């Protein structure tokens, strides 16, 4: 085939049917789509209440947690209950889709039979995979190391849930009611433990840590890992502690003793 | 060999309007399904906090992967200079665009907040392969549109090769991006592998060409256009090679994982005792989607053209079924296997730690996925109705440069 032969013919007759076909199609599409657009505007969920980021966050601080597994009782769920109450996470009785920001995991060593129990939540990684994969930057790490989700720019793609090695994130599957003003959530967005950032900014401890100290085994210690004079920094310097899946090199801010 | 003449399809028959109405109804039901899911929330679907990507993603990824593969026919004609493929190029570009738009629509409508698409289009995190894919997908639409223009506008024909080369390279990068969505998930044992990118490229070659052949045959049959044996034989053989390449990469993917003791669990799950996933893997993906097409496509070429076309159609349908199963096993099976937080311990919790997750697709998810397929069909139908994508004939005498008529032979 030569170049000339490849050229399209110009002798095709004008097709009057095309114009009427296009007009008809456009009208049909308009009629079909208009109710959908209207319904969508009715059905769209309300946005979560906006909340300004605290300007006091400083990179000189790294908030973290040290959890002594020996002091964590298998039957105790106080940290989980405190989190649910504090952040308004009441579920709908559907465990597969109800969110969990913190959960108790029971461990058993199959070789020795030793059993342990420990709380697992967002580990607030130094190199968080959820932040790396988020297409819009809604997953972000605050200067003080707290990993959060911006509820205004999360599009609900769930890539961060797939990327998190700790299964720490939940997708909001249902319409929300009675939200806490300090812990805004959003249907169709992803969420996880905020380390009770609203409390931290108010110079208080996370709810789980407070509950563990008040009614639990006192297994959880919260503080600034960067401050050598803090209790948590002294303890991690003095005693052996470990991070979950340390092999991944993410440097989580949550550490465990006696694991 | 004659000069290629393209024309719109007539589009006045009852059959045309019936097909258009069915596709439009399915597309509309897809939108309604999406609206239903967004209104009530994703809890009404089969998806949950363990399986966060469900059937809509299987449809979306299948269509997007096939989109880049459907463009190969055009690339072979303009970039690699195979003349017999040149008349097929325009339709290849149209189908690629339609598949991508169908897939993207499903993907976007399954977002938790599809109304925030504008956020995804304006706020980027460049460490995210998802964000790169937004550029790659939108860019693909632009590049293919220009490529089509260069092919269809006589004065621009001389630039078709350059545009074709850009489109070919773009589609390779695009499928690398799609495969890397999974390849970059370091904590998921079923993914986390560089092979996901070339595997997805191989899959795109195979699925895209199979769909191309099916849609081309349907379009030619429906509009009464002849299609010759020579072109079908070539497409069939090429398809056979692509199917073999997919099987090769699949074998390497699993053999590599099997070699690492830490991944034995997930491999055992997919290959041996994973229930539906094992059945889909061996039964549909490997046997129906791999071995059967190889048998059909590489047996000695039949003389009778009717038999030839029928075998090719069965092979293409088998490849589509096997390909869909493959994407299902990768997407759903890979998520069903639990994350391993404590590699040397047995674990249990109220949040499904250490448990193989169940997934039952719901009707709205199926509706949304099928809506994407129907939208693809609608775009193709609309395209060939209003523009000259299809040659008036694909008979051997018209498009095969090596054609020798029986009169000349004697």
- Phi, psi (5° rounding) for residue A92? -110, 20
pLDDT at A21: 66
pLDDT at A179: 93
pLDDT at A6: 45
How crowded is the C-beta side of B380, counted as CA atoms within 13 Å? 29
Residue of A nearest to B84 (CA): A1
Inspect the interface and report whether the beta carbons of B351 and A167 lie closer than 8 Å. yes
- Sort out which chain A residues have CB atoms less than 8 A from B112's CB and list them: 154-158, 171-172, 187-190
Distances (CA, A) of B342 to A77, B44, B98, B263, B339: 20, 32, 45, 14, 9
Question: Residues 112-141, chain B: which have Cβ within 8 Å of A?
Answer: 112-117, 119-120, 123-125, 127-131, 133-134
- Sort out which chain A residues have CB atoms less than 8 A from B28's CB and list them: 32, 36
| Start-to-end C-alpha separation, chain A | 74
b/e burial code for range B171-193 (CB count within 10 A of at least 16 → b): bbbbbbbbbbbbbbbbbbbbbbb
Question: Which of A36, A94, A156 is facing B112, going by the closest CB pair?
Answer: A156
Inspect the interface and report whether the beta carbons of B112 and A136 lie closer than 8 Å. no
pLDDT tens track for A204-238: 999 999 999 999 889 999 999 999 999 999 999 99
Rounded CA separation B133/B128 (Å):
9
pLDDT at A89: 95
pLDDT at B305: 55
Q: Pick from B277, B215, B249: which is nearest to B88 by CA?
A: B215
What CATH number labels B6-404?
1.20.1630.10
What are the mean pLDDT values of chain B's consecutive 10-residue runs (410 residues total)? 82 92 98 97 96 98 97 91 89 97 97 94 92 94 95 89 94 96 93 95 97 96 89 90 97 94 94 96 98 88 60 95 98 96 94 96 98 98 95 85 63
Question: Which of B6, B35, B127 is facing A132, going by the closest CB pair?
Answer: B127
pLDDT at B395: 86
Inspect the interface and report whether the beta carbons of A36 and B385 lie closer than 8 Å. no
User: pTM score, two decimals?
Assistant: 0.90
- Sort out which chain A residues have CB atoms less than 8 A from B41's CB and list them: 172-175, 187-188
Rounded CA separation A157/A154 (Å):
8
Share of chain A above pLDDT 70, in %: 78
Burial (0-12, 13-18, 19+ Cβ within 10 Å), A110: exposed
Q: Per-residue confidence at A3, pLDDT binned at 50, 70, 90?
A: very low
Rounded CA separation B152/B86 (Å):
12
- Sort out which chain A residues have CB atoms less than 8 A from B380's CB and list them: none
Interface pTM, i.e. ipTM: 0.92
- Sort out which chain B residues have CB atoms less than 8 A from A18's CB and list them: 8, 385-386
- Sort out which chain B residues have CB atoms less than 8 A from A25's CB and list them: 382
Could you tell me if A155 and A135 are in contact, meaning their C-beta atoms sit under 8 angstroms apart? Answer: yes
CA-based R_g, chain B, Å: 22
Q: Count of CB contacts below 8 A, A vs B?
A: 225
b/e burial code for range A219-228 (CB count within 10 A of at least 16 → b): bbbbbbbbee
Distances (CA, A) of B231 to A5, B295, B404: 19, 19, 14
Q: Pick from A101, A22, A13: which is nearest to B351 by CA?
A: A101
Q: Give the angle subtended at the CA of B73 by the CAs of B70 and B75, to the nearest 5°.
A: 105
- Sort out which chain A residues have CB atoms less than 8 A from B6's CB and list them: 8-9
Inspect the interface and report whether the beta carbons of A153 and B7 lie closer than 8 Å. no
| Start-to-end C-alpha separation, chain B | 19
- Sort out which chain A residues have CB atoms less than 8 A from B159's CB and list them: none
Q: 3-state DSSP call for residue A43?
A: helix
Inspect the interface and report whether the beta carbons of A171 and B52 lie closer than 8 Å. yes
Inspect the interface and report whether the beta carbons of B52 and A244 lie closer than 8 Å. no
Alpha-carbon gap: B293 to the closest alpha carbon of chain A (Å):
32
Structure-derived torsion over alpha carbons of residues B276, B282, B283, B288, reported in degrees to the nearest 10: 140
- Sort out which chain A residues have CB atoms less than 8 A from B119's CB and list them: 136, 153, 155
Q: Pick from B393, B374, B389, B400: which is nearest to B29 by CA?
A: B374
For chain B, the domains span: 6-404
Q: Pick from B66, B381, B380, B60: which is nearest to B209 by CA?
A: B66
Structure-derived torsion over alpha carbons of residues A70, A76, A79, A80, reported in degrees to the nearest 10: 130
Tell whether B402 lies on the interface with A, counting CB pairs under 8 A.
Answer: no
Which residue would you say has higher pLDDT here, B373 or A1? B373
pLDDT tens track for A91-146: 999 999 999 999 999 999 999 999 999 999 999 999 999 999 999 999 999 999 99
pLDDT tens track for B28-87: 999 999 999 999 999 999 999 999 999 999 999 999 999 999 999 999 988 888 888 889
Which residue would you say has higher pLDDT here, B102 or A5? B102
Alpha-carbon gap: A5 to the closest alpha carbon of chain B (Å):
4
Alpha-carbon gap: B294 to the closest alpha carbon of chain A (Å):
32
Q: Is the pLDDT of residue A185 over 60?
A: yes
Q: 3-state DSSP call for residue B110?
A: coil
Distances (CA, A) of B95 to A40, B91, B217, B406: 29, 6, 13, 34
Inspect the interface and report whether the beta carbons of A133 and B130 lie closer than 8 Å. yes
DSSP state of A10: S
- Sort out which chain B residues have CB atoms less than 8 A from A95's CB and list them: 350-352
pLDDT tens track for B181-203: 999 999 899 999 999 999 999 99
Distances (CA, A) of B334 to A189, B11, B337, B357: 22, 44, 6, 10
Q: Which residue stretches of A48-141 are H helix? A: 78-87, 129-133
Question: Which of B31, B49, B133 is facing A97, going by the closest CB pair?
Answer: B49
Domains of chain A and CATH, by start: 63-257 (3.30.70.20)
Laid out side by side, the sheet with A115-121 consists of A115-121, A102-108, B346-349
Residue of B nearest to A42 (CA): B39
Tell whether B43 lies on the interface with A, counting CB pairs under 8 A.
Answer: yes
pLDDT tens track for A26-66: 666 656 555 444 444 333 333 333 335 556 688 899 999 99
Inspect the interface and report whether the beta carbons of A120 and B341 lie closer than 8 Å. yes
Inspect the interface and report whether the beta carbons of B342 and A107 lie closer than 8 Å. yes
Rounded CA separation B10/B12 (Å):
6
Question: Which of B3, B48, B351 is facing A9, going by the closest CB pair?
Answer: B3
Residues with Cβ within 8 Å of B178's Cβ and at least 6 positions away in sequence, in order, are B61, B64, B65, B133, B200
Sign of CA dihedral A90, A96, A101, A105: positive
Question: Which of B48, B112, B130 is facing A135, going by the closest CB pair?
Answer: B130
Question: Residues 345-384, chain B: which have Cβ within 8 Å of A?
Answer: 345-353, 382
Could you tell me if A174 and B41 are in contact, meaning their C-beta atoms sit under 8 angstroms apart? Answer: yes
Inspect the interface and report whether the beta carbons of B49 and A108 lie closer than 8 Å. no
Inspect the interface and report whether the beta carbons of B35 and A43 lie closer than 8 Å. yes
Rounded CA separation A212/B123 (Å):
40
Could you tell me if A123 and A166 are in contact, meaning their C-beta atoms sit under 8 angstroms apart? Answer: yes
């Amino acid at each position: 085939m030569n170049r000339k032969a490849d050229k399209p013919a110009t002798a095709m007759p004008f097709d009057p049917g095309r114009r009427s076909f296009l007009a008809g199609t456009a009208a049909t599409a308009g009629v079909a789509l208009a109710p959908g657009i209207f319904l969508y505007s009715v059905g769209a969920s309300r946005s979560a209440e906006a909340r300004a980021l605290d300007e006091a966050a400083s990179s000189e601080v790294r908030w973290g947690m040290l959890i002594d597994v020996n002091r964590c009782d298998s039957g105790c769920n106080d940290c989980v209950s405190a989190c649910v109450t504090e952040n308004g996470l009441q579920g709908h009785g559907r465990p597969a889709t109800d969110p969990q920001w913190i959960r108790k995991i029971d461990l058993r060593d199959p070789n020795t039979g030793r059993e342990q129990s420990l709380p697992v939540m967002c580990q607030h990684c130094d190199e968080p995979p959820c932040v790396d994969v988020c297409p819009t930057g809604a997953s972000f790490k605050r200067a003080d190391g707290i990993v959060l989700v911006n509820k205004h720019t999360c599009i609900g793609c769930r890539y961060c849930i797939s990327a998190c090695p700790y299964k720490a994130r939940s997708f909001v599957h249902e319409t929300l009611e009675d939200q806490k003003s300090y812990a805004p959530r959003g249907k169709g967005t992803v969420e996880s433990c905020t380390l009770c950032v609203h409390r931290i900014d108010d110079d208080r401890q996370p709810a789980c840590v407070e509950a563990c100290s008040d009614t639990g085994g006192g297994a959880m210690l919260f503080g600034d890992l960067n401050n050598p004079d803090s209790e948590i920094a002294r303890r991690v310097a003095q005693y052996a502690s470990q991070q979950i899946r340390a092999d991944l090199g993410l440097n989580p801010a949550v550490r465990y003793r006696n694991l | 060999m004659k000069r290629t003449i393209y024309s719109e399809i007539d589009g006045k028959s009852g059959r045309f309007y019936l097909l258009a109405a069915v596709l439009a109804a399915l597309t509309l039901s897809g939108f309604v399904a999406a609206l239903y899911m967004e209104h009530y929330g994703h809890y009404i679907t089969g998806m949950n906090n363990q399986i966060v990507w469900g059937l809509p993603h299987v449809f979306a990824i299948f269509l997007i992967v096939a989109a880049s593969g459907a463009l190969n026919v055009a690339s072979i004609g303009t970039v690699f200079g195979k003349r017999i493929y040149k008349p097929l190029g325009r339709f290849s570009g149209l189908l690629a665009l339609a598949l991508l738009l169908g897939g993207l629509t499903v993907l976007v409508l399954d977002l938790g907040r599809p109304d925030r698409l504008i956020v995804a289009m304006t706020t980027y995190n460049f460490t995210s392969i998802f964000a790169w894919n937004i550029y790659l997908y939108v860019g693909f639409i632009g590049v293919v549109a220009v490529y089509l223009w260069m092919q269809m506008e006589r004065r621009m024909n001389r630039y078709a090769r350059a545009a074709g080369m850009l489109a070919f390279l773009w589609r390779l990068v695009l499928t690398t991006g799609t495969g890397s969505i999974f390849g970059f998930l370091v904590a998921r044992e079923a993914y986390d592998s560089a092979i996901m990118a070339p595997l997805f490229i191989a899959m795109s070659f195979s699925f895209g060409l199979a769909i191309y052949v099916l849609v081309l045959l349907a379009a030619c049959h429906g509009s009464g256009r002849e299609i010759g044996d020579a072109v079908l034989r070539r497409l069939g053989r090429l398809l056979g090679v692509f199917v073999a390449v997919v099987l090769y990469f699949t074998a390497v993917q699993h053999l590599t994982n099997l070699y690492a003791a830490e991944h034995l669990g997930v491999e055992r799950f997919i290959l041996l005792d994973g229930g539906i996933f094992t059945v889909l893997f061996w039964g549909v993906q490997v046997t129906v989607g791999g071995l059967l097409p190889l048998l059909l496509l590489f047996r000695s070429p039949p003389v009778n053209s009717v038999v030839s076309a029928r075998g090719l159609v069965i092979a293409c349908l088998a490849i589509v079924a096997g390909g869909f199963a493959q994407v299902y096993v990768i997407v759903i099976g890979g998520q069903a296997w639990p994350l391993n937080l404590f590699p040397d311990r047995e674990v249990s919790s109220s949040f499904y730690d250490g448990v193989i997750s169940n997934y039952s697709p719901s009707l709205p998810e199926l509706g949304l996925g099928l809506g994407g397929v129907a939208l693809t069909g609608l775009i193709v139908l609309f395209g060939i109705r209003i523009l000259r994508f299809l040659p008036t004939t694909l008979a051997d005498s018209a498009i095969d440069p090596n054609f020798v008529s029986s009169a000349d032979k004697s």
